Amino acid sequence: MHNFSYARAADIDGALRLVAQPGAQFIAGGTNLLDLMKGGIAIPERLVDITQIAGLAQIHQLPAGAIRIGALASNSDTAKHSLIRERHPLLAQAIESGASAQLRNMATVGGNILQRTRCGYFYDTAFDECNKRNPGSGCAAIRGYNRNHAVLGASESCIATHPSDMCVALVALDAVVQLRTARGARAVPLADFQRLPGDAPQTDSLLAPGEIITAVDLPSDRWLKHSAYLKVRDRASYAFALVSVAAAIDIQDEVMQDARVVLGGVAHKPWQVPEAASLLRGRRADTNAFREVAEAAFQGAAPRKHNAFKIELGKRAVIRGLSLAASAGANLT
């Protein structure tokens, strides 16, 4: 690890001032950034610790009914918060399926959104090729070991996946990211905030230089009753998703009115299946309907040498995830 200086911000304005200096970067839980620094992948000259900023860890209801999760709320506090468990059980499920209890205690909601891929070639600087780490150097994973890489939305520059479970649920719940710079505030839907690799995989999100995530808003609890997060992985705990599915259905009088299906583990960001709503609307919940969504989800999927199984696995996971969502209620724990 390289030497760096350390400063602690007292408030958001102070944090934005400190991070404006060259080579400065925010640190909150540090569960990903410290790993990156130890590996020589991130080499910040200055860390701006934002964990002491008051009020940023709150979870509360806004006047219009939306729920606001402060950027510094820990993953575990979020998952166990009564507003989240009662109104957005999908999010609680997704968070608790991720990482380990120790990591969830440290990791923040804002940091989770900004975490970087777990691609082995990205994480080891001994590999010369990685466009995400060193733009223009190539992608070692495309012709290397790519069992856990993307089958959707990848490019010839990068086939990495986003490792978060939480974000998959957030996108399904239409979450909106609240951002601040010294010049003002803006709000961006999470689905748009995170990007596909294209020819600039070094840029994971629309976060501008000097910008900070202050909160994530969940606008509506219309997915409360029928939702499920299904994570398929190589071991029962502490493993990234091979494929995950956040499924939510609005069912009125046994007829599906609307649906959200978002996939994790298959793309550079949570992968939306927008066809889900139109394919399911007006129908009763059954496996045949869900199978059509599954097929639509993987239209255009591009397998690599080791990850072709994700396409079939992903389809089956979509069907299972929607079935679980339709029969949910049991998920209201």
From 234, 286, 305, 332, residue interacting with other proteins (rule: CB under 8 A): 234
Site residues for other proteins, 35-54, by CB under 8 A, read: 40
Cβ 232 to other proteins shortest distance, Å = 5
Q: Could you give the residue ranges of the DSSP H alpha helices within 97-204? A: 101-106, 109-114, 120-123, 166-172, 190-193
SS (H, E, C) 30-46: CCCHHHHHHCCCCCCCE
**Per 3-state DSSP, what percentage of the chain is helix, strand, and coil (rounded to 5)?**
30, 20, 50
128 vs 192 by CB, closer to other proteins: 128
Sheet containing strand 24-27, edge to edge, reads 5-8, 46-49, 24-27
The single-letter code of the amino acid at 14 is G
What residue has token string 């396409």?
311
- Residue window 259-298: x/- pattern of binding to other proteins, with contact defined by CB under 8 A: ----------------------------------------
Cβ 181 to other proteins shortest distance, Å = 33
Site residues for other proteins, 155-194, by CB under 8 A, read: none
1 is a site residue for other proteins (CB under 8 A): yes
Evaluate whether 30 touches 74 at the Cβ level (below 8 Å): no
126: burial class by Cβ within 10 Å (0-12, 13-18, 19+)? exposed
Span near other proteins by CB under 8 A; candidates 9-17, 78-86, 142-150, 251-259: 142-150
254 is a site residue for other proteins (CB under 8 A): no
312 is a site residue for other proteins (CB under 8 A): yes
From 26, 229, 240, 271, residue interacting with other proteins (rule: CB under 8 A): 240
Size of the site for other proteins (CB under 8 A): 34
In the three-class reduction of DSSP (H, G, I as helix; E, B as strand; rest coil), residue 54 is classed as coil
Strand partners, 245: 230, 263
Span near other proteins by CB under 8 A; candidates 15-23, 72-80, 89-97, 312-320: 312-320
Span near other proteins by CB under 8 A; candidates 119-127, 220-228, 248-256, 274-282: 119-127
Q: What CA–CA distance (Å, rounded) separates 71 from 108?
A: 7
5 vs 52 by CB, closer to other proteins: 5
118 is a site residue for other proteins (CB under 8 A): yes
What token pair was written down for 54? 């008051």
Span near other proteins by CB under 8 A; candidates 53-61, 136-144, 174-182, 183-191: 136-144
What token pair was written down for 177? 């990211």
From 236, 252, 300, 330, residue interacting with other proteins (rule: CB under 8 A): 236
DSSP H/E element including 288 = helix 287-297
Axis crossing angle, helix 287-297 with helix 309-326, rounded to the nearest 10: 140
In the three-class reduction of DSSP (H, G, I as helix; E, B as strand; rest coil), residue 84 is classed as helix
144 is a site residue for other proteins (CB under 8 A): yes
Q: Which of 84, 94, 68 is nearest to 162 (CA)?
A: 94
304 is a site residue for other proteins (CB under 8 A): no
Residues 6+ away with beta carbon under 8 Å from 62: 68, 217
Evaluate whether 169 touches 229 at the Cβ level (below 8 Å): yes
126 is a site residue for other proteins (CB under 8 A): yes
- Residue window 72-111: x/- pattern of binding to other proteins, with contact defined by CB under 8 A: ----------------------------------------
Residues within the interface to other proteins (CB under 8 A): 1-3, 40, 118, 120-121, 123-124, 126-127, 140, 143-145, 147, 232-240, 242, 308-309, 312-313, 316-317, 319-320
